Homo-oligomer: A and B are copies of this chain.
Amino acid sequence: MRIGQLARRSGVSVRALRYYEEQRLLESARTSGGQRDYPDEALERVQLIQDLFAAGLSSRTVVELLPCVSTGVATPAMLDQLITERDRITVRIQDLTRAKAKLGRVIENVTAANVAQD
């Protein structure tokens, strides 16, 4: 599969895929002409990378954790890192939940005021 097709299938830009390779998050074979040629598994890989980015991990962290995420084998340091990141996400979810509640109260307030005005 060439880069354009992988981009369309995964929903990320061509530029992003090249960036992933530059950051050693994603490998590619090359055709005789020097063009990237991806195996089908690359699609899952890209989606995994996107998930980890969406979770707020940096590319540096992702490149460290990708091996054990795909192989299931980890050093103690990697396990620590995994747990640290999960905890970070937990805290982030708590923050967002509080913020959401706060916005919810504002919305209720405003709605009540508007209804009262009608």
Contacts and interface: CB of A to CB of B under 8 A. Distances in A.
Interface of A: 51-52, 54-56, 68-69, 72-74, 78-79, 82-83, 85-86, 89-90, 92-93, 95-100, 102-104, 106-107, 109-111, 113-114
A90 to B, nearest CB: 7
B103 A72 contact: no
Copies of the protein in its oligomer = 2
A88 to B, nearest CB: 10
Q: Is the interface of A mostly helix, strand, loop or mixed?
A: helix
Question: Which A-B residue pairs are the 9 nearest by beta carbons?
Answer: A55-B99, A74-B110, A72-B109, A86-B103, A89-B100, A54-B95, A93-B96, A82-B107, A69-B106
Contacts of A111: 79
B68 A99 contact: no
Nearest to A55: B99
B89 A107 contact: no
Nearest to A90: B100
A79 B7 CA distance: 37
